[in-house]
């Protein structure tokens, strides 16, 4: 009905309350913001789409292109220390964003995506260094960040037993 290219139709059949996956997918693909968390969320969610729904060949191609584009953006976030800045071009690494980006990189690499040269090793070195610098303090509210950092290092076969023991000892 109507002119070619002016109308779309999607049908979602589900045994649960509708989640309008098609609309959410379109929003995700065109998400306008670009800090490290938003860029990573966009990439990570699209990495999981094929596990949630059957994508048309065109949508699968678009998702693949979007994921690789997002991964390529990581170069602009990387700081001299190897961590990821909150915004591209900033000089200070963001602790949470760095861990989250590495988790995304690990997932993407496992799915066959190419990670820009140098990004992963520098980021892993940064995470390892931060894990070793962390100490427990009753005033330190960053134990969850340390736990996530240690988890992501372990996912990359870089489990840091001394940092894990230090964290466990402080939690008693």
- Rounded CA-CA distance 83/40 in Å is 14
Q: What is the pLDDT of residues 115-148, one digit of tens each?
A: 999 999 999 999 999 999 988 776 666 888 999 9
Instruction: Indicate the pTM of the whole model.
Output: 0.82
Exposed/middle/buried for 102, CB within 10 Å: 0-12, 13-18, 19+?
A: buried
Exposed/middle/buried for 26, CB within 10 Å: 0-12, 13-18, 19+?
A: middle
Which range among 1-10, 25-34, 116-125, 139-148 shows the weakest confidence by mean pLDDT? Answer: 1-10
Q: What is the pLDDT of residues 97-119, one digit of tens each?
A: 999 999 999 999 999 999 999 99
Please state the length of the chain. 172
């Amino acid at each position: 009905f109507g002119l070619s290219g002016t109308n779309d139709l999607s049908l979602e059949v589900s045994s649960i309350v509708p989640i309008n996956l098609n609309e959410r997918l379109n929003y995700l693909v065109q998400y306008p913001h670009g800090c490290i968390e938003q860029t990573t969320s966009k990439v990570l969610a699209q990495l999981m789409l094929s596990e949630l729904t059957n994508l048309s060949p065109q949508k699968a191609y678009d998702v693949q292109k979007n994921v690789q584009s997002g991964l390529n953006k990581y170069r602009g976030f990387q700081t001299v220390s190897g961590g990821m800045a909150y915004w591209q071009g900033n000089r200070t690494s963001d602790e949470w964003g760095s861990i989250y980006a590495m988790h995304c990189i690990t997932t993407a690499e496992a799915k066959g995506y190419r990670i820009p040269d140098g990004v992963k090793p520098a980021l892993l070195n940064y995470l390892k260094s931060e894990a070793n610098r962390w100490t427990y303090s009753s005033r330190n509210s960053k134990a969850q960040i340390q736990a996530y950092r240690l988890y992501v290092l372990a996912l990359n076969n870089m489990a840091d037993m001394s940092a894990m023991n230090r964290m466990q000892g402080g939690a008693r």
